[in-house]
Structure 1
Amino acid sequence: MEFYHLRTFLTVADEGHLTRAAEKLMTSQPAVSAQLRALEDEVGMKLFERTSKGMVLTSAGRSLREQAERIVEAAKDFKCQADASGTRSPASWCWDSTIDLKSCASWRFWEISPRITPSCATSFCAAAVA
């Protein structure tokens, strides 16, 4: 199972539409659809009901969503811990734009360190030494 399939799955579940999910993921609607099909094929279950009003999770989809949210959150936590471990210089810490900086362990570091200020751009967030 590919991590990006889970992120795509969660984005479609949140947005309820393939097109909006594709826009949020900055990819095409056919790519999102193909990723969902691949995930459904891998788990052997239909995860969404496709309706004229959008995408609705099936019971299997709701169950997978709970698991996928935990996996994605654990990956975010791991990345934040790795970044906070000092393996990168503070001026080059980067995150995917979907990560909530306030949920990161390193956010607390910024709160107690007045010399470091978080700043964001379209595709990444970085801390710059003031």
Structure 2
Amino acid sequence: MTVGDGMKGRVSTKGGAALRAAMTRLLAGRPERADGCLTKEDLWREAQVSRATMNRAQDILAEWDAHMVQYGKTTPREAQRDATIADLRRKLTAKTQQGTLLKRQLQAAAIAITALHHDNEALRNELSE
């Protein structure tokens, strides 16, 4: 029996528990040992196991891959940041539109005031003649 055949899919209980705990922390956005990116490299680093150990944990990797397919590689913190940015962009767009409307109203008022001023000047000239 070769090592590759005999060890395929076999991970110690301790290694499997470390990988599951690391996966839970990473997916929750609370890494302790890695930078928090949702990558397999961060998974084995967070679990403090070797890459080979992680690669043998096929059931855990299948769960990891399924989560990535369903939710993507965005951490909860990144998702919150993206939601905040999107909300701020919507607010900025609304304020920009409001500013544009107010600018147009101000320009219209300035034109009306200018016209009234000229009419007033013309009437004063007529009265003074």
Q: TM-score, normalised by structure 1?
A: 0.27
* Higher share in helix: 2
Q: When you count strand as a share of all residues, which structure comes out higher? A: 1
Q: Which has the higher contact order (CA 8 A, sep 6+)?
A: 2
Report which of the two structures shows the higher radius of gyration computed on alpha carbons. 2
* TM-score, structure 2 normalization: 0.27
